[in-house]
Chains A and B, each alone.
Chain A
Amino acid sequence: MVDRFPSPFDVATPPGAEGWERMYDWYHLFGEERREADEQRFWFQDRLHHPDVLHPYDEIQCECWWQALGAFNTRIFAMPPAYGVDQRVLNGRLYVTPIAAPPEEVAARAEEFARRAGHYYEHWDDIYAEWKHKVLGKLDEIRAIDFEPLPALEPDSVVFDHVGFSSGYRMIRDFDRLVLTMYETYQYHFELLNIGYAAYVNFFLFCRNAFPDISEQAISRMVGGLRVDLYRPDDELKRLAKEAERLGIGEQVLGSSGATALFAELDGSDAGREWVADWNATADPWFLIATDPGHPGGYHTYPTWLDSPDIPLSAVREYVRRVRAGESIDRPTGEVLAERDRITAEYRELLAVDDVAVFDESIALARKVFAYIEEHVLYIEHWIWSTFWSKSRQLSRALAAMGEFDEAEDMFFLRRYEVAEALYDTVAGWSVGSRGRGADYWRPIVAERRRIYEALRVAPLVPALGPPPDEINEPFTVMLWGITSTTVREWLTSGGDGEVVTLKGTPGSRGVVEGVVRVVTHVDQLADVQLGEVLVCPATSPAWSPAFARVSATISDVGGIMSHTAIVCREYQLPAVVGTGVAVATLRTGQRVRVDGDNGVVTVLD
């Protein structure tokens, strides 16, 4: 068995992808100047947040968390053992490595952390209320931005309201605002996230110490099950399904093909109009849901439910069918909560007397932070990132309409600094009544990058780089990415071409089930999922929720016990093995597998 992954400097450029480095920011690349340090570090591919090759423009998503996570861990809360998570882009894919704090600093950092994070824990509910206000304010700011092609003559208002600046200037200004507002929002994202995780991990390990063999699921069941906004979109789909039945239009909803045709058809009756009005009122904000297979909101390429109403409609149809089959479609929230309280009380009773106080304090804190851990995904990943990408696409259409690009999508093959350049080119040409260099300048660059992008996408995956540490001891790597010493060993040993019989992952939700595999890498493919199949996917987001009503178990490539997949499968009481790393690449649709959610093992049966 090899004991290390390839050096980043030895990974070949895929054929046809020569020159890929020019697509990404220079500071994001491995470079000869820091070769010595970088070759000593262990890098793993961040398929949780970025499962696909990055478009140059989308690199901003990585930058946002690179800086914000780092600053909060390293500089703001002084997370005792952990600095930030460093990033590099190689062959269009994002690799990350957590940086440990120097051991001699840990004691002093611990003191600071207690003071600083302690303040947050003590005032968590108030701070979270403030936080929501702040973050939803940013959403309003981004929503107010509007990119239209610049007018031939400025409207009267520019003159008679004494605006004092041109639409061209405003376009340049608003692009900066768009980027900065997004950047600012991601500061807030990490304001609460990692200290929240620390409190959660603490409770987790406390339980492990007090009850040595306790399962991950038992611990998270003591904390989860809250009625949080993250589940609201799926609840709204169910409500719309029941409404359709109540209004007597269930048959119509089931029958028609596309959302557009259906809505037109429903316009013919009072009941239909009432339902469509309900749909429209619900859609903003609850259908502002990103459909990425990885971390939601990570790419500009995936539509939201709002952009593609066929996606939520197919879910509503599924719920109508299930209501008609006499099934209960409501999440068993009451049961989950009752079970949570029962489990908690029974473990508590079994504790040593002297541990009860710290147990009470730790679980109360874990539950408080857990609401944030779940809900921030909706507010930031779905609502704000989706709006950011939607505004970016609006800008790309405006620039294409003004001749800066041949087609709107071209803009996303430019780095964000290049987009600022293109914008200035357009605005300058518009302002003086001349024309910029525009599409003629970008055409060969974009054409080359499109070729490279396709070549990168089909290149074989390299899951990790460099020498793995003896043990993975960075709390967030384990909790969030589901990457453990065991995972890394699996990666090292599964390099061969031998037939894979078992996959190991993290037990995400208990239970053992056998079934037929359905590999799904894009939310569009969810329609193919047959009742009772085992869903195999890179990762899931709330956009995938309707699938959980149909499948018998889930296997994901990425994610730990706190991943969306694991949380939702526990809610639906489906077995799940998460963070297998290679399920999508290894398993084929139609294969029979056994999913052992108790032990985190998937066995191929044929």
Chain B
Amino acid sequence: MRLFQLYPLGDAAVTVQFGDSIDEDTHAKVRTFSAYLERHPFPGLVEQVPAFSTVTIYYDPWVLSEQGLYNPYTRVTEQLQNMLKLAKKSQKTASPRVVEIPVCYNGSFGPDLEYVARHTKLTPQEVIASHSRGKYLVYMIGFAPGFPYLGGMSKKLATPRKQHPRANIPAGTVGIAGNQTGIYPIETPGGWQLIGRTPLRLFDPDREQPSLLQAGDLVKFVPISEEEFWQRKEKAHGA
């Protein structure tokens, strides 16, 4: 496969694809280009969305066409190809930010911890140790505001989703679904196996960066006590 492919996503967006698998090398290219775009926005760029193997660029064809003078798709792809070269040359891949997420793996916060332990033939303590040992790459934010798609969970912890989804999962809940782990940023229904909860707010519309996590970050889970959970929660949510 070539270095990258460009294809239109309709008449107002274009996707740059850097690979066709979910792996850290492909995602490093995604991160490099996404960061370059962030530093070098061009007229008509609306926004960009990095994902597992792609960066999608939303643009305004009216602006790119300079009020109807030029073909906007030709214009935007020329622009992007140029930027792809420059991004590669600059090689300014900053080392990823490591974000520590405190998690209380206590019974009431992790009602499925016992189930996951039985399923994986581990003790609950071993599940916690394994889950909080790894570093997890944030491949993409999607599905819900601030929801991280995390890679890197130990295969030993893989547990299928629940047969019957729960109607309400509180914000901050940490769960496992298949070979993925994730954190619910807002209260939603869902079928994940719930193993703990973080006192941090993953999504806050009043923050300058509403999502705590960004694509390309590394997440480290840090076990905390229930007492510490309530202290940190009070702090995170203000007085």
A-B interaction = no
